[in-house]
Amino acid sequence: MPMIFLNVTAVGFFLILCRWDQRSSVVTPDEDVFYLVALLRSALDNGEETQSLEYLTDQNRKILRFCDDAGIKVKQYLPHYTTREEWMDHFGDKWDRFYQRKMEFDPRRILATGQRIFNPSSASTSTVSPR
């Protein structure tokens, strides 16, 4: 049952790692049981600062900073990373596998360019480093 507070709907689930296909590129923690927590909210352009996109984005950054400072490992579902290093950190141990699949199935790196993980190129895979 979702909890509603301060115009935020929070949904939480516990998940069992062995039920996930480890061949996928989804990022999961190393624990056997982990939790998915979703904060579902909408930004409104109604003049109220606490409903603005900027305010909610700043709140999200504060939540992520708190988790980082407290040593709570988190992964964002739709992260907005701007560097390859941030993506490498996001994928962690799965980076090499993710990179190999990218080079196998999209060697010219033309798909998903907006995520800024790989730059489009006509270079062959043998001249590109995973790091």
Residue with more model confidence, 87 or 4: 87
Q: State how far the Cα of 49 lies from the Cα of 54, in Å rounded to an integer.
A: 8
In which band, very low, low, confident or very high, does the pLDDT at 127 lie, cut at 50, 70 and 90?
very low
SS3 content of the chain, % helix, strand, coil (to 5): 40, 15, 45
Angle at 39 between CA 33 and CA 44, to 5 degrees: 170
Of all residues in the chain, the percent with pLDDT exceeding 90 is: 17
Which amino acid is residue 21, in one-letter code? D
Q: Is the pLDDT of residue 85 over 80?
A: yes
Q: State how far the Cα of 124 lies from the Cα of 36, in Å rounded to an integer.
A: 38
pLDDT in tens, 33-68: 888 888 888 888 887 887 788 888 898 889 889 999
* pTM of the predicted structure, to 2 decimals: 0.65
Closest Cα to residue 89, out of 121, 108, 64, 54? Answer: 64
Mean pLDDT across 113-127: 68
